[in-house]
Structure 1
Amino acid sequence: MKNISDLRKSYERAELDESASHADPLQQFEQWLKEAISSEVPEPNAMTVATVGSNLRPSTRVVLIKGYDAQGIVWYTNYESRKGHELAGNPYAALQFHWVELERVVRIEGVVERVSDAESDAYFHSRPLDSRIGAWASPQSEVISGRTVLVTNAAKYAAQFLLQPPRPPHWGGYRLKPDNWQFWQGRKSRLHDRLRYSLEADGTWLRERLAP
């Protein structure tokens, strides 16, 4: 087995220059996301969500982005999960996209709020039936005795709701409203390109290059 400290990769696919990047980070994100999708990288919509609990210990997990616009980045989950409890106590979070094949990383920081009930309802009812039942069946982040608990719960709620399960009151969307973006493009000799966008008081974005 190769020693992990000897693993190396030279990043040479692309570059990220201030003159060629968008002044608005959302436009830059949209461009990169579309390129990740068109390049058919595995799960281009997967992002890591980092939150911090009352004990000041950070935690991360991977979720799927379900929407983005000038208001922020949206995903859906169980409000009673660990991340839900942590966001209730500390609404600040960080997101990260890592498109390995494109040698790109996007990092986003900001405050998080719940989306409206109407938005959560609309997305919930667009999901496949088994996913809607799963939202009822899984007491996310809680200790369970075994997988049988999930299977039993799924059968119970499927019988109860048939083809029309309502959205659980403990399930819905979050929106992160960015105030800081970073775009990282791998470059040769570890001299990577790294641009940061910081939200100014007047609502404009300050774009700066950071040393990698």
Structure 2
Amino acid sequence: MTDTMTPHALRRGALISLEGGEGAGKTTVLVALRARLEARGHAVVGTREPGGTPAGEAIRALLLDPAQPLVPNTELLLMFASRAQLVETLVEPALARGDMVLADRFTDASFAYQGGGRGLPMGLIADLERAFVGRMPDFTLLLDLDVQAGLARARSRGAPADRIEREKDEFFERVRGAYRARAAAQPQRIGVVDASQPVEAVVQDACAALDAFLDRWNAP
């Protein structure tokens, strides 16, 4: 684990995360981003949050189980337990090898879901980030989508809703607001893509934003 929170402190590899609310189309975009990274000659390690390690996947199952009535602080601490395991055992070793780590969500999700959605203090989340993660993503793409449109997409899949997906629409409005506020505060790190567009346009915009980051990252 590095002791700095500054993007670009590690030039070995880069941590790239993809964020967005329910139904934003992260799965499709992740496939395209991985292909773009590989086409540019990078080795890619893919992961997801919560999860990404055997311990993290066990925590994920608990977090998403609709039968588990977790209080917000328990949810937050479980998220960071999974994340700490991921950083120590997968992210940092991959970066040290020079690989690109492509993450389906990272700590920005806790600021959005547990901070915005649950109303937990953002300062508490930042303290946990510093203590147990020690780094931010080098680049984050946020797929931004109207909450009603995203929930309609997610519900049309027909899969049973997990514990978080069962929250009320107001919860997801707060999540979106927190994501957008975070992106506005950190425009150099977080790129926003309009996910209401046709999927081809979303993928094109996401790959263009990734290319722009890689050009900056590789610049002398």
Length-normalised TM-score, structure 2: 0.27
Greater fraction strand? 1
Higher helix content, 1 or 2: 2
- Structure with the bigger RCO (C-alpha within 8 Å, sep 6+) is 2
TM-score normalized with structure 1 length:
0.27
